[in-house]
């Protein structure tokens, strides 16, 4: 009998609720108003978010029903496939069983539409005509442009400068779906003009620009592609499908590996499985792979900090390199963020999630090796998860154990060919992380209590 390679679920198996992991965890430190240092309330968020998303941001119920209008769009690509990477197992000569949950089959080529569609829906229900956002590598911007088009809304995107230059086809994708794209930092905003000394840009700078424009618009709201609770919530369709697919395979993960920038991909894959660890005592390990050039979870300080560079957002409890730290221009633009989702940071602080820093060249070496045996060309972001998974497979080999390794393959790399071209030409380097810049940025953290 031929061994299964892919595990496919029917459309009827699309999850009909999102998993709210916060219901299973002790209450964490609340976000604080940047001026008063008091916990943020719904009225503080109402100028840029619809009430439907604000309610999800602070929800306490364990599951939240997915509206039928959102499920109808999800059916365009969900459920996504789970692959057994048998060729990779042979190539690595490991007894480990390796699986990848592939989100690159969505129209935008990544996991990002899972929340983009939900955010566009709730804003449309609230009568909002336009969404304004930032994007790192362009995956989030293209996903939101698609979602806005499907719900008859306008979309404006501030794209991090280095990615705007490196990834022109992601810009074209945004424009094809009707979005408008600006290179960030731009001359269009006070925030952008204040950061002209950092032409490579950063997610923090682009967030500042998008929030500034949204806050000054009567008919527009702001939309964030990662970090916030409601964003992580929407992504949990990934992990719920994985649980069903691993049951089809007759196995369950010993270790879950995903890349981390702001945390949405990792949360979506892992939070339903973290719930099983918390509730049922399962011993699954969770490994969060981040760039060594932007090592938020492995090197950052656990403090209250702004989610953006200029300081327009609430203060969030998280591991941070400092809100005005500008990471080196690695090709994994979606991972160039100074902080991480507070919920994820809490899991790292409690030892449930293990962070691991990966060098850029090691990530691309793993991506090319994966592509040559499995066929899929990964995005630079999940390439970091692949490198960490290879290390896990080697450990399984040394231990002589058939460990089950689950990888979050968050998107394809079809619009990242300039990075692969640089790798093949020997021009891709490991960019240095500046300890001095981080220490300087940490000295400028806002005056706020250290979260417990």
Using alpha carbons, list the distances in angstroms from residue 409 to 127, 390, 418, 428: 35, 14, 20, 22
pLDDT tier for residue 3 given thresholds of 50, 70 and 90: confident
pLDDT at 225 > cutoff 70: yes
Q: The pTM is what?
A: 0.96
Is residue 452 predicted with pLDDT exceeding 80?
no
How far apart, in whole angstroms, are the C-alpha atoms of residue 81 and residue 228? 26
Give strand pairing partners of 42: none
Instruction: At 110, give phi and psi (nearest 5°).
Output: -155, -175
Axis crossing angle, helix 417-424 with helix 360-374, rounded to the nearest 10: 100
Average pLDDT over residues 434-443: 92
Kindly indicate the confidence band of residue 437, based on its pLDDT and cuts at 50, 70 and 90.
very high
Summarised one tens digit per residue, pLDDT across range 71-113 is 999 999 999 999 999 999 999 999 999 999 999 999 999 999 9
pLDDT at 333: 75
| CA distance readout (Å), 427 to 255, 336, 364, 421 | 33, 20, 12, 8
Q: Say yes or no to pLDDT of 395 above 80.
A: yes
Burial code (b: 16+ CB inside 10 Å, e: under 16) for 201-232 equals bbbbbbbbbbbbbbeebeebbbbbbbbbbbbb
- pLDDT for residue 204: 85
Out of 194-203, 326-335, 350-359, 442-451, which region has the weakest mean confidence (pLDDT)?
Answer: 326-335
SS (H, E, C) 249-267: HCCCCCEEEEECCCCHHHH
Angle, CA of 207, 430 and 103, to the nearest 5°? 55
The mean pLDDT value for 295-320 works out to 94
Tokens of 184: 């960030």
pLDDT in tens, 230-268: 999 999 999 999 999 999 999 999 999 999 999 999 999
User: Average of pLDDT values for 59-78?
Assistant: 97
Q: What is the pLDDT of residue 39?
A: 93
CA distance 111 to 143: 9
pLDDT at res. 2: 66
Contact criterion met (CB below 8 Å) for 139 and 115: no
Q: At 97, phi and psi to the nearest 5? A: -100, 120
Q: Is the pLDDT of residue 229 over 60?
A: yes
Range among 145-149, 216-220, 305-309 rated most confident: 145-149
What does the pLDDT read at residue 159?
A: 96
Compute the mean pLDDT over every residue in the chain, rounded to the nearest whole number: 95
The residue ranges of DSSP E strands in 97-192, in sequence order, are 97-102, 130-135, 154-160, 180-184
pLDDT of residue 253: 98
> What's the pLDDT score for residue 450?
87
In this predicted structure, what is the pLDDT of residue 1?
44
């Amino acid at each position: 009998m031929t061994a299964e390679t892919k595990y496919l679920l029917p459309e009827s198996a699309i999850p009909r609720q999102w998993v709210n992991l916060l219901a299973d965890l002790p209450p964490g430190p609340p976000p604080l108003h940047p001026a008063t240092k008091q916990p943020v309330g719904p009225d503080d968020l109402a100028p840029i978010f619809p009430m439907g998303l604000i309610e999800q941001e602070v929800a306490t119920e364990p599951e939240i029903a997915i509206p039928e209008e959102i499920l109808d769009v999800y059916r365009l690509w969900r459920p996504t496939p789970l692959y057994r990477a048998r060729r990779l197992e042979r190539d690595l000569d490991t007894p480990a069983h390796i699986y990848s949950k592939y989100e690159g089959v969505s129209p935008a080529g990544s996991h990002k539409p899972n929340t983009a569609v939900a955010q566009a829906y709730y804003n449309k229900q609230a009568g909002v005509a336009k969404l304004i956002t930032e994007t790192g590598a362009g995956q989030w911007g293209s996903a939101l442009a698609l979602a806005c088009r499907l719900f008859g809304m306008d979309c404006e995107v501030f794209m991090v400068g280095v990615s705007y230059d490196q990834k022109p086809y992601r810009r074209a994708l945004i424009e094809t779906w009707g979005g408008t794209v600006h290179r960030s930092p731009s001359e269009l905003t006070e925030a952008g003009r204040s950061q002209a000394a950092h032409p490579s840009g950063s997610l923090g700078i682009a967030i500042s620009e998008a929030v500034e424009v949204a806050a000054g618009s009567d008919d527009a709201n702001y939309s964030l592609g990662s970090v916030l609770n409601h964003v992580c919530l929407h992504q949990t369709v990934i992990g719920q499908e994985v649980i069903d697919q691993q049951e089809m395979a007759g196995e369950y993960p010993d270790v879950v590996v995903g890349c981390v920038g702001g945390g949405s991909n990792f949360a979506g894959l892992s939070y339903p499985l973290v719930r099983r660890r918390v509730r049922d005592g399962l011993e699954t390990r969770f490994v969060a792979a981040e760039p060594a050039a932007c090592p938020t979870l492995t090197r950052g300080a656990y403090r209250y900090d702004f989610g953006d560079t200029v300081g327009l957002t609430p203060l969030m409890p998280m591991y941070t390199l400092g809100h005005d730290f500008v990471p080196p221009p690695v090709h994994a633009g979606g991972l160039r963020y100074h902080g991480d989702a507070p919920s994820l940071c809490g899991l790292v602080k409690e030892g449930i999630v293990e962070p691991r820093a990966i060098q850029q060249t090691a990530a691309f070496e793993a991506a090319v090796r994966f592509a040559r045996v499995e066929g899929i060309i990964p995005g630079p972001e999940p390439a970091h998860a692949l490198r960490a998974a290879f290390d896990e497979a080697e450990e399984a080999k040394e231990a002589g154990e058939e460990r089950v390794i689950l990888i979050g393959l968050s998107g394809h790399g079809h619009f990242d060919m300039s990075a692969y071209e640089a790798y093949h030409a020997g021009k891709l380097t490991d960019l240095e992380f500046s300890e001095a810049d981080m220490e300087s940025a940490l000295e400028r953290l806002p005056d706020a209590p250290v979260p417990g």
